[in-house]
């Protein structure tokens, strides 16, 4: 059961962190989801050194999260757009933002809010069950080995720790 390498971990969380689990990368994705596309805009907003930004953008492009598109030939200039894979990170970013609003920021008012255009309200994203539609809570879910899991020891026990709130 020893796990010496992350790339060997057949775990979605570990593999995702390989691709997005770096601080600058997540802030670049945050800004991309807000509509930022150009190198200079990322650089100015994040206060990040150009060489670090170049490296992180290259990595995100290599992982297929961003794609590079030329928007000017003279001078040659590229912009960075989220791919479908990158756009699919919005629930991750939203969950991080909501947790931070509640627990990490020391502010009464949230600096940003999520607006649901369909109903027009400022809202929270609330996880619901894809099967029965009910709202999910930590006490009513657990993670189980998948159908072909080769290492059931990866799940140490059930039920989930949320059921133990002593």
Supply 137's token pair.
């809570």
Q: Which residues ranging from 106 to 165 are in contact with its own copies (CB under 8 A)? A: 107, 109-119, 121-132, 134-136, 138, 140-149, 151, 154-162
CB of 59 to its own copies, least distance (A): 14
Taking alpha carbons only, the member of 69, 4, 73, 12 closest to residue 39 is 69
- Lay out the site mask for its own copies across 63-102 (x = CB under 8 A, - = otherwise): ------------------xx--x-xxxxxxxxxxxxxxxx
CA separation, residue 150 to residues 8, 11, 26, 35, 146 (Å): 13, 12, 31, 41, 9
**With binding defined as CB under 8 A, does residue 44 bind its own copies?**
yes
Q: Is 59 one of the binding residues for its own copies (CB under 8 A)?
A: no
Please report, as residue ranges, which positions from 2 to 21 form the binding site for its own copies (by CB under 8 A). 2-6, 10-19, 21
d(CA 131, CA 108): 36
Return the residue of 7, 28, 34, 54 that touches its own copies, per CB under 8 A: 34
* Nearest approach, Cβ of residue 82 and its own copies (Å): 6
Q: Does 49 bind its own copies (CB under 8 A)?
A: no
Peptide bond into 56 cis (omega under 30): no
CA distance 162 to 150: 26
């Amino acid at each position: 059961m020893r796990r010496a390498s992350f790339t060997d971990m057949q775990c979605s969380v570990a593999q995702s962190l390989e691709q997005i689990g770096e601080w600058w990368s997540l802030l670049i994705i945050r800004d991309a989801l807000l509509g930022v596309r150009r190198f200079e805009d990322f650089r100015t907003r994040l206060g990040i050194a150009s060489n670090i930004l170049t490296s992180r953008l290259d990595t995100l492009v290599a992982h297929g999260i961003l794609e590079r598109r030329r928007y000017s030939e003279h001078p040659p200039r590229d912009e960075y757009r989220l791919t479908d894979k990158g756009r699919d990170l919005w629930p991750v970013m939203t969950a991080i933002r909501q947790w931070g609003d509640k627990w990490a920021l020391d502010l009464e008012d949230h600096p940003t809010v999520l607006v649901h255009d369909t109903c027009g309200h400022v809202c929270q994203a609330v996880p619901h069950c894809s099967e029965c539609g009910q709202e999910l809570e930590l006490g009513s879910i657990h993670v189980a080995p998948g159908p072909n899991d080769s290492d059931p020891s990866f799940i140490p026990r059930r039920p989930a720790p949320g059921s133990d709130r002593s």
